[in-house]
């Protein structure tokens, strides 16, 4: 008779909607206990209810990832409450789009604070319990903007590009500890963020994508689910681009 392996615990930031919610559902479907993190408790409760209705396990934790102290405290609490932390998915992010000559210091700094520094803080806090558990998966959600740039998104592209160097550095530092770190870089995905784009912009984006469509949050979630799995133990320091072929070369 073999012992039942313990349930792995995952944190997903920005889990209240869109890609983050889809990732949380996918990880729960793998049998993980998923801790949903976002600023909106009401929306988190809705995702938690969806997961539990499908037979999964989830809990919620309202937190602003741009608040370094609160984010560190939240991750420490999860690790303490569950006596482990195995998977961290940094999905939370904001945009403050503007053309370079019009972009203010505040617009630049706000995006960097949430989309890059917040990820650094979360990873640093999560690595301690992962090292104690001698197993870990870090998946940072990037963007094709971080690979090729995008007009009007100097701040966003800078943050997402910075994720690449951060993640690869973590991968090298933590490889001997059985902790992997990877980036998933989505292209245009059907989310609240892209829903507000003018139809002309949507049409141009679809036309620039070889598959001629936007991706679905579930397609990003499937990539994250693989990288968070037991089978992905030999994959680290990589960027998995899920963009319909937009950036193929």
Q: Which two tokens stand for residue 48?
A: 């938690």
Q: Select, from the ranges 149-153, 177-181, 241-245, the one with the highest average predicted confidence (pLDDT).
A: 177-181
**Residue 249 pLDDT class (50, 70, 90 cuts):** low
Tokens 């209240």 correspond to: 16
**Residue 191 pLDDT class (50, 70, 90 cuts):** confident
45-101, pLDDT tens digit by residue?
999 999 999 999 999 999 999 999 999 999 999 999 999 999 999 999 999 999 999
Closest CA to 48 of 67, 63, 62, 64: 62
Q: Which two tokens stand for residue 129?
A: 């319990």
Of the candidate CATH numbers 1.10.150.120, 3.40.250.10, 3.30.70.20, 3.40.50.720, the domain formed by 9-189+217-241 belongs to 3.40.50.720
Closest CA to 185 of 204, 206, 159: 159
Mean pLDDT for 189-209 is 80
Catalytic site positions: 156
Contacts of 242 (CB under 8 A, 6+ apart): 184, 185, 186, 187, 215, 219, 220, 223
**Residue 5 pLDDT class (50, 70, 90 cuts):** low
What integer pLDDT is reported at residue 4 of this predicted model? 55
208-218, pLDDT tens digit by residue?
889 999 999 99
Q: Is a pLDDT exceeding 90 seen at residue 248?
A: no
> What share of the chain in percent tops pLDDT 70?
98
On average, the pLDDT of the chain sits at: 94
What integer pLDDT is reported at residue 27 of this predicted model? 98
Mean pLDDT for 155-168 is 97
Q: What is the CA radius of gyration of the chain?
A: 17
What integer pLDDT is reported at residue 1 of this predicted model? 41
Pairing type for strands 179-186 and 33-38 reads unpaired
Burial 90-121 (b: 16+ CB within 10 A, else e): bbbbbbbeeeeeebeeebbebbbbbbbbbbbb
Domain range summary for the chain, segments of one domain joined by +: 9-189+217-241
What integer pLDDT is reported at residue 2 of this predicted model? 47
Using alpha carbons, list the distances in angstroms from residue 193 to 91, 95, 121, 142. 13, 9, 24, 15
Q: Is a pLDDT exceeding 70 seen at residue 242?
A: yes
What integer pLDDT is reported at residue 205 of this predicted model? 83
């Amino acid at each position: 008779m073999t012992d039942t392996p313990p349930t792995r615990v995952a944190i997903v930031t920005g889990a209240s909607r869109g890609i983050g919610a889809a990732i949380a559902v996918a990880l729960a479907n793998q049998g993980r206990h998923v801790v949903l993190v976002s600023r909106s408790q009401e929306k988190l409760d809705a995702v938690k209810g969806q997961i539990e209705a499908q037979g999964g396990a989830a809990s919620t934790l309202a937190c602003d990832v741009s608040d370094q102290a609160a984010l560190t405290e939240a991750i420490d609490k999860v690790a303490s409450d569950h006596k482990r932390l195995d998977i961290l998915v940094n999905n939370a992010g904001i945009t403050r789009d503007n053309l370079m000559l019009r972009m203010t210091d505040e617009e630049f700094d706000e995006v960097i604070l949430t989309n890059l520094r917040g990820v650094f803080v979360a990873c640093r806090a999560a690595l301690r319990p992962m090292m104690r558990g001698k197993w870990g998966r870090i998946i940072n959600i990037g963007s094709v903007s971080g690979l090729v740039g995008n007009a009007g998104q100097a701040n966003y592209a800078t943050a997402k590009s910075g994720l690449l160097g951060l993640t690869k550095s973590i991968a090298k530092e933590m490889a001997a500890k059985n902790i992997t770190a990877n980036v998933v870089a989505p292209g245009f995905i059907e989310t609240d963020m892209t829903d507000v784009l003018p139809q002309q912009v949507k049409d141009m984006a679809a036309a620039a994508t070889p598959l001629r469509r936007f991706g679905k949050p579930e397609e990003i979630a499937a990539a994250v689910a693989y990288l968070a799995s037991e089978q992905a133990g030999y994959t680290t320091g990589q960027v998995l681009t899920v963009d319909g072929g937009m950036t193929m070369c």
